[in-house]
């Protein structure tokens, strides 16, 4: 089963900043210096976004027995949950099997 990626709001933000950079390149040296700072910012945003991006279970699995956020889809409904995986199965806190399509690390509060 091929699943669709879960979009990230960060993608739109990065695209908007990159358009601003294209304009800045046309404005000259001062804008270019500001643009370089912005490029470093984009690199950091991408790094943070990648750490928090939903991962397709067909491409990558979390470590076993580590609690992660999961996206479940049984064909009729889709919902977020938390689960851990063991032997390629994801289970919730009640040890019920979940139809997981994507996962991402739990970010600390």
Residue pLDDT, tens place only, 3-23: 666 666 677 777 777 777 667
Q: List, for residues 26-64, the tens digit of each pLDDT value.
A: 666 566 556 667 777 788 888 887 778 899 999 999 999
Whether the pLDDT of residue 104 is over 60: the answer is yes
| pLDDT at site 6 | 67
pTM of the model: 0.60
Question: CA 85 → CA 11, 25, 92, distances in Å?
Answer: 28, 48, 9
Distances in whole angstroms, Cα of residue 53 to Cα of each of 6, 29, 75, 94, 107 = 8, 35, 22, 26, 11
């Amino acid at each position: 089963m091929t699943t669709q990626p879960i979009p990230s709001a960060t993608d739109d933000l990065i695209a908007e900043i990159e358009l601003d950079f294209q304009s800045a390149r046309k404005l000259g040296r001062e804008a270019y210096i500001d643009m370089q700072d912005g490029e470093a910012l984009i690199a950091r945003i991408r790094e943070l976004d990648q750490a928090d991006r939903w991962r397709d279970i067909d491409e990558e699995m979390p470590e076993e027995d580590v609690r992660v956020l999961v996206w479940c889809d049984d064909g009729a409904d889709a919902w977020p949950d938390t689960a851990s995986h063991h032997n390629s199965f994801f289970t919730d806190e009640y040890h019920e099997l979940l139809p997981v399509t994507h996962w991402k690390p739990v970010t600390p509060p």
